[in-house]
Structure 1
Amino acid sequence: MRIILDKALKLHPLNKSKLIAGANGLTRPIDQFGVLEAPDSFKFVKNNEFLLTTGFMCKNNHELQYKIVKQLFNRGVCALGIKVNRYITELSPKVIDFCNRNDFPILYVPSEYGWYELFYPLLYLMYIHPGSNEDLLNKMTELSDRILNSNNFDEIVKYIYNIFNIPCYIHINYNNISAAYPVSFQTSDISEFVEHFNDTQTSFITNNIKRIDFKKDSILFSYIKHKMNCHGYILLYEKNTKLKPNDISLFNYIVVCIQFYSNKFLNSTRKFSPIHNKFLLELLNVKELDKKQLMYRSNELNIDLYKNYIISVSKNLPISEYEDLDKIYTFIENNINIKYKVLSAFDFNGNYIVFNPIDKNLSLEQIFKCTKLKIIKIKKELENFFNIKNFSFGIGTYHKSIDGIKTSYCEALRAFDCYKKFFNYDFIINFKDLGIYSILNNPSISDDIQKFTNKYIKPIIDSDIENNSELLKTLKCFFDSNRSFRNCAKEMNLHHNTIRYRLKKIEELCHIDITFENDLLELELALKLIPFLNKLGL
């Protein structure tokens, strides 16, 4: 069955598309559909073909964009849909002008759907139901509108029951929500169906649906998911009468619609969503904020800005490489925010921010101790989720009010950046504990630090290498032993005269006198800067 483009765009999820150019070409017919991902794919397209693409092959090349679009038009392609914000954020004016002049439709299609989900409604109409007419298309449009505009899952299961006249059951993992119609129809244990569904011996009858034998009857079972993340399950209880293939295909389209509805529903009920994340990032990064408006928005999102927070920051988490954002939001909410009673935010540069509320009943020392212990636990959660090791956190200090949140955030960034400059391994550092590293982080004195450290440490290292000695180890132990020869000797299981001899050797190598306090201070400072020296490859 041939279908007209503007009719196809009424079906979910294509109805989430945005027309960019070529509005007068919406009456073009669709005879087939396909995916365009290679620069020379236009050589193989067919007349009246509806094409979808991520735009990867021409993401940074406006001339190639124009060349491909022109070739597609010349070959009679119906329209081109581009997954928005995957690789192309905007088309060149030249492409848009060409499409408008030639009535060639270009659309941005929602990127969160797979190719199958985007094409399934057309597949159902054109091939699975080849004898269909416009009545079926109108029925599918009404079906998706009813589901997506429902107030709850109870309305949805009742609507599905009225379509197929067999019991329907939906279970959502989040908050353990269930809905059934008739209400008397309940399942004993959803895990039984999940186990059967995951059995590799059970075959799919469509891309999303399996038929499971259950107590001499049969169940049509499907995951409710977004991308690769499972939100829950939907099933139809067929009893003794199995649905016909056309009805099963219609049920498959219903599943696609419910998956979108469930994602919308979860985002509105969860305590951490893209809206919350965006608000928290704005709170930290926008220079001037209207505090009255800020408090109003925070109340709407149930974010308590009347509390005082200590901010912690980590960088370089592989968030941008992790495509399943729903899974990230769910993980952060359940495994971090709720579990440790904090707020979180992240961006696609790999920055992760923790807002830890202050317990005013604790002393400052106890507050910092509790914050660090909490960050250690959160760090382990992130390591397990992202399957990474050796990343770090900087922690700010305690300040009152909303302005204090931004101040604490800036301190956490400074703590992270300062300490990261000197150490390669993972760390959790408080801004108040930075000490000398806060000063040494100044880029303008980087060369001076290098020369200063070289002056004292490099001769000691060279001597240790040449003579297989332990001068550097002895020097470190000496300072760790509060500059006590005897304590150092005891720690290293040596005679105290051996320690004195080694320190005398260090004096000769570095041309200093450790009886002078200034020389001794410089030597200890140089020792603490060894990580900086190592970063320079010296």
Structure 2
Amino acid sequence: MTISLQDAMKIGGLRECRVIAGYQGLDAEIRYVTIMEVPDIVRWLKGNELMLTSLYPIKDNPEAQKKLIKQLHEKGTSALAIKPNRFVEDIPLPILEEAEKYGFPVIEIPEPVSYLDILSPVMNTIFDRKVVLQEDLEEAYRLLNEVSLNEPGIQSLIDILTHLTKHNIAIESLVSFVDTPLLNSPFQDFKHQQIEELEHVQRPIRLKRRHKEAGSVSCITAPIIVDGTLYGAISSWDDAQEHIEADLAILERASSVLALEFMRRKVRYEVELQYKSDFFRALFRGSTSHTKDLEEKARGYNILPERCYMCCAVYFEQADTTGTFLTDHMTKLEMIIHHIEPHAVVGMMHHVLYILYPTKGKGEERALLDMNRFIREFEKMFAKTPFAGTGRVSSNSFSELQESFEQAETALSISRTLHLQDSRPVHYDELGVYRLLAQVSEEEELTRFYTETAGLLAEYDDKHNLELIRSVEEYFYHNESVSAAAESLYIHVNTLKYRLQKVKTLTGWSLQDSEGKLMIQLGLKIGHYIHHGYRQR
């Protein structure tokens, strides 16, 4: 077994030493540590040695010093560590020049550091690697497999890994169905790029992580992969001691063991998720007079009306392409939501995500701010803004909670109808007249009203391309300012006046009369409402 010179410089007496030439060779591997105090030792070298010397045999011979560096380089020696002060005051310049020429590392040993301070720790590390890999690795695998079979808990696994690797260990979960003690990670969340890298390589890699107390830390992180997706990770770190090959093997086996455990819990979670979806359907789609049994089940799902929920409904367009989209990502969505509000209740029905946000003690303003945070986090996760709608805050009754649920559904449906995709949900109270239109059960009557008002303008536009609909919309948008609307349309004021007069000619309603304005505006709203297929949402 070997150890790199760069890693060796962090062990024992070498921590007090410094490389003064040949930095290019720091990746050289060390297999042995030997001492040179006789001139012909070079012939016995096999390669990969760290040689320690006082230069006594060649202290007065510059040519021999240059020749030594060349010979060591040709033999494949890893580095030369020189202890001056006793026989040479400083490390000779010919040695440094020749070392730079070959990229051969030369190390200066300070006076207080003995050869033994270097030789023993480095050789012990090399020997320990051999022992662990040859004798202890199978025992480590056995212990890890017992953890998996006996399921003693995640904390037991952390203890075992700490014992086996002699490093700090943290196990992190990115899914909601594995939550203790994994959520108490000492690190900040993974960056999106790190998640992609772990999912790609699917084996332990070295990462720079941000420790909540110690700042930037170099870790070995082993991904916990289920169905190609990162569900969690095991991170190992230690400033005082480097990782060895056995650590990587142990962490990789541990991540495989945990992947099986995560898979089992995932299956159980998906079954529970189906039950929860069925319950949501019974609670919110059923009668407003809920039975005592239903209310008891609600409390079992931590739905407590006294928390005064605001309901939010979220739809992801990606759900149109795969029927399992929400199921596949539900656990990560729950993690995002519970990170912001731990007492929120999350469920799904018909490819729609529902969030019951408890407002008691927080207020509606805080609830809306957190809803906005949910949407922004979803945007980061899927690189696309979802549609979302929220209802009013319910009081402490299931019937009002059902009303908030229905309002959120209405707001979501209309936001999809009108393509109101924004980084915040559409609130039910912001829907204006669409709230009333949503209550009309006779679509034929809405269609007739549209045909008698704005529909006449649309029909004329189709035949003559006069843009009457757009002109009227801009006119109302600019609070009936003809000049502002004309400027927005890039037309002359007189042209717009002609178009507005045409509206009266076609519909019989004048935009100078309040009744006429109301009829045309309603017609426009109904046109948006029925032509985007709200009823099919």
Deviation at 1:328, TM superposition (A): 4.3
Corresponding position of 2:390 = 395
In 1, the alpha carbon distance for the partners of 2:328 and 2:469 equals: 51
Which residues of 2 match residues 391-430 of structure 1 at below 5 A? 391-403=386-398, 404-418=400-414, 420-421=416-417, 423-426=418-421, 428-430=425-427
Pick from 329, 334, 345 the counterpart of residue 331 of structure 2: 329
Letter in 1 for 2:170: H
Aligned residues: 352
Please, what is the CA RMSD of the aligned residues?
A: 5.3
2:183 to 175, 178, 185: 175
Q: Say whether the 8 Å CA contact 1:396–1:431 is kept in structure 2.
A: yes
Q: Contact between 1:392 and 1:426, CA under 8 Å: does it hold in 2?
A: yes
Distance 1:529 1:373, change over 3 A: farther
Return the offset for 1:411. Answer: 2.0
Q: Is the 8 A contact 2:390 2:411 kept in 1?
A: yes
1:526 paired with 2:523, answer yes
How much has 1:348 moved relative to structure 2? 6.4
**For 1:391-426, what per-residue CA distance to the aligned partner results, in whole angstroms no more than 9, with x for missing partners?**
4222211221141322211221233335544x2453
2: CA distance, partners of 1:444 / 1:293: 34
Tell me which of 473, 476, 479 is aligned to 1:476.
473
Matches within 5 A, 1:273-284: 282=279
Consecutive unaligned residues in structure 1, runs of 5 or more: 1-138, 179-190, 212-218
Give deviations 1:205-228, integer Å, cap 9, x for gaps.
Answer: xx96799xxxxxxx9985334332
**Contact conserved, 1:168 with 1:234, CA < 8 A, in 2?**
no
For residues 243 and 380 of structure 2, what CA distance do their matches in structure 1 show?
46
Instruction: Write the distance in 1 (CA, Å) between the matches of 2:420 and 2:296.
Output: 42
Aligned to 2:90: none
Contact 2:306 2:395 in 1 (8 A): no
| 1:217-250 deviation digits (Å, cap 9, x = unpaired) | xx9985334332152227799999987xxx9999
> What is the deviation of 1:254?
5.7
Distance change in 2, residues 1:341/1:316 (3 Å):
same
8 Å contact 2:345–2:356 — kept in the other structure?
yes
Unaligned stretches of 5+ residues in structure 2: 1-139, 173-181, 207-218
Displacement of 1:143 in angstroms is 6.7
Give the C-alpha shift of residue 384 in structure 1: 2.6
C-alpha deviations, 1:137-185, integer Å up to 9, x for none?
xx999974544435445533666799xx77576431343559xxxxxxx
Preserved contact between residue 394 and residue 415 of structure 1 (Cα < 8 Å): yes
Aligned-residue sequence identity (percent) comes to 14
How far the C-alpha of 1:352 sits from its partner, in A, is 0.9
**One-letter amino acid matched to 1:332:** E
- Max radius of gyration: which structure? 2
CA–CA separation in structure 2 for the residues paired with 1:313 and 1:263:
28
Letter in 2 for 1:532: Y
- 2:150 counterpart of 1:149: yes
| Contact 2:326-2:351 at 8 Å conserved across structures | no
Match of 1:489 in 2: 483
Q: Find the counterpart in structure 2 of residue 382 from structure 1.
A: 378
**Taking structure 1 as reference, are residues 341 and 500 closer, same or farther at Cα in structure 2, changes over 3 Å only?**
farther
8 Å CA contact 1:168–1:236 kept in 2: the answer is: yes
Structure 1 residues 156, 477: CA separation in 2 closer, same or farther (over 3 Å shift)? closer
Deviation at 1:471, TM superposition (A): 3.1
User: What is the distance in 2 between the residues matched to 1:480 and 1:157?
Assistant: 62
Cα deviation digits, residues 490-520 of structure 1 (max 9, x gap): 4425887655443222211224455665444
Alpha-carbon spacing, 1:481–1:349, altered in 2? closer, same or farther (3 Å): closer
CA contact (8 A) 2:309 2:358 kept: yes
Amino acid at match of 2:171: I
| Separation in structure 1 between the aligned mates of residue 198 and residue 339 of structure 2, nearest angstrom | 34
Q: Give the structure 1 partner of residue 355 of structure 2.
A: 354
**What does 1:426-445 correspond to in 2, within 5 Å?**
426=421, 428-441=425-438, 444-445=441-442
Structure 2 counterparts to residues 289-304 of structure 1, below 5 A:
289-290=292-293, 293-294=296-297, 297=300
Q: Do 1:209 and 1:221's aligned partners in 2 also have CA atoms closer than 8 Å?
A: yes
Q: Is the 8 A contact 1:419 1:437 kept in 2?
A: no
Give how far 1:307 is off.
1.3
Alpha carbons 1:313, 1:395 under 8 Å: kept: yes
For residue 452 of structure 2, the aligned residue among 452, 455, 460 is 455
User: Is the contact made by 1:317 and 1:352 (CA closer than 8 Å) also made in structure 2?
Assistant: no
DSSP 3-state at the match of 2:402: helix
Distance 1:498 1:357, change over 3 A: same
CA contact (8 A) 1:170 1:232 kept: no
CA 1:385 to 1:344, structure 2 compared with 1: closer, same or farther past 3 Å? farther
| Separation (CA, whole Å) in 2 of partners of 1:463 and 1:147 | 73
Q: Which one is further off, 316-325 or 456-465?
A: 316-325
Judged with a 3 Å threshold, the aligned counterparts in structure 2 of structure 1 residues 170 and 349 are, in CA distance, closer, same or farther, namely: farther
Is the partner of 2:306 in helix, strand or coil? coil
